[in-house]
Amino acid sequence: MTAVTNRSVPRDPSSSFTGWIGIARCDITPPVGIYARNWGASTHDRAEGVHRPLTATALTFQTVKDSQPAVVVSLDLGWWRSFKDERYVRDYILNELRLDSPRLMISLSHTHAGPVLCSEDRDKPGGEMLAGYLDFLRDRIVSTVREALANADIASLHWTYSSCSLACNRDLPDPDSDRVLCGYNPAGVADHTLLVGSIRFLRSGAAASILNYACHPTTLAWENRLISPDFVGAAREVVEEHFNGAPCMFLQGASGELAPRRQYTADTAVADANGRVLGYAVVSALENAKSNRLEFSGVIESGAPLAVWREVEEPQRSDIHCYQIDVELPLQSMSSMVELDAAIRECMDRVALERLTRKRRIREAVGDGGSTKMPAWIWRLGDSFLVGHPNEAYSMLQTSLRALFPSTTVAVMNVVNGHFGYLPPEEMYGKDMYPVWQSPFAAGSLERLIEACAERMAGM
């Protein structure tokens, strides 16, 4: 048998980071009885029990032990109703940890079965607990990040792309009208991309993982009365049990139009089943992951011509670059604060009042102008990117950035460091659909965000 080399075969892509990595987790479950009305259709206000505990997971990245870290924190929480509360929490964390703003990303899982994150709802049943919960939350985050930094050690991070069928398109044309419903659309296209990061601590042999997937945690809906991380809890449980307790961090992707097929229920068994679908896909991806690049090394002539690939160890990058950019986004025509306040005073319908209250908070956050500046956070860890932003972008954000940077791993996160509204593609505007009329942002805003992120990434 003879070996024949052929170097024209494409190389297997590899994306990794090696440096000081720390990870820690804590419990952030709120007290039973807290205000937890996240659905306009709900007939209850208070959480009446706990399905699974809510957690905060912190990951820290450093080039050397004493350098300022890049910190990402994943919270099993829904979304910020008030930009003031988000800044109250984030500014405290930045100050306590002495972090520059570009170096902190707080990513919410977007569960719809958590406490309401709005201290302004203090007059609602259970609302008196909200301000205290925010204080508890920010203290827990600071202590957990400090724990991660104290435990940090030399580690490597390798990324693997895979897929999972949990996420489905949820923009369903109403068969009885010209509007678009929020619910399973069997004819719709869904991005099933699953991105998994495998962390290996080089001296201890310990492990951890990162799960970046785009899917609304809306399994548990208006009839549910329990605090829950939704499917995220069971997904992590599957991964961590399989890998002997190695912690797994969940990062919500660009899931604007994506949700499970089975949702809108009070049955926690459905949420757990959805989580297992995702969890086993992560296990499969991690079992198939590689730490070294595969390179075509030649042909062995046997009964058949056999292509031989070998693992090739490459120098690991340890550089970290963190940027925060501001993107000017145009606003849709919206009612003024005065008009919204008048409508709220006159509204007697519970569901309509919920919508009006949300619109008022959004208007207060984005201002009365014709455009507003929205931040985005872009990190380069070795030869991979992490991109986070406050809003609910459609999956076009992640598919576009990944297509523009095909040889580099790109993790994309919705609901990072705030929340204002949806970012649908330009062609969706003009349709009667919730992500369009809920959003303060005008047509073309998603495309502007993609362009701005890509421009910054190209310069890194």
Q: What is the chain's pLDDT, residue by residue, as a tens digit (460 residues)?
A: 344 444 445 545 556 899 999 999 999 999 999 999 999 899 999 999 999 999 999 999 999 998 999 999 999 999 999 999 999 999 999 999 999 999 999 999 999 999 999 999 999 999 999 999 999 999 999 999 999 999 999 999 999 999 999 999 999 999 999 999 999 999 999 999 999 999 999 999 999 999 999 999 999 999 999 999 999 999 999 999 999 999 999 999 999 999 999 999 999 999 999 999 999 999 999 998 877 778 899 999 999 999 999 888 877 899 999 999 999 999 998 777 777 778 888 888 877 877 788 778 887 888 888 999 999 999 999 999 999 999 999 999 999 999 999 989 999 999 999 999 999 999 999 999 999 998 999 999 999 999 999 999 999 9
What does the alpha-carbon distance between residue 113 and residue 98 come to, in Å, rounded to a whole number?
A: 32
Q: Which residues pair with residue 299 across a beta bridge? A: 4, 307
Tokens of 330: 């145009």
Which pLDDT does position 16 carry in this prediction?
Answer: 87
Tokens of 334: 């919206």
Each residue of 327-345: pLDDT tens digit? 999 999 877 777 777 888 8
Tokens of 210: 């990162």
Task: Quote the mean pLDDT of the chain.
Answer: 93
What does the alpha-carbon distance between residue 275 and residue 265 come to, in Å, rounded to a whole number?
A: 15
Longest dimension (CA), the chain: 86
Residue ranges of the domains in the chain?
Answer: 320-458
Tokens of 50: 């706990």
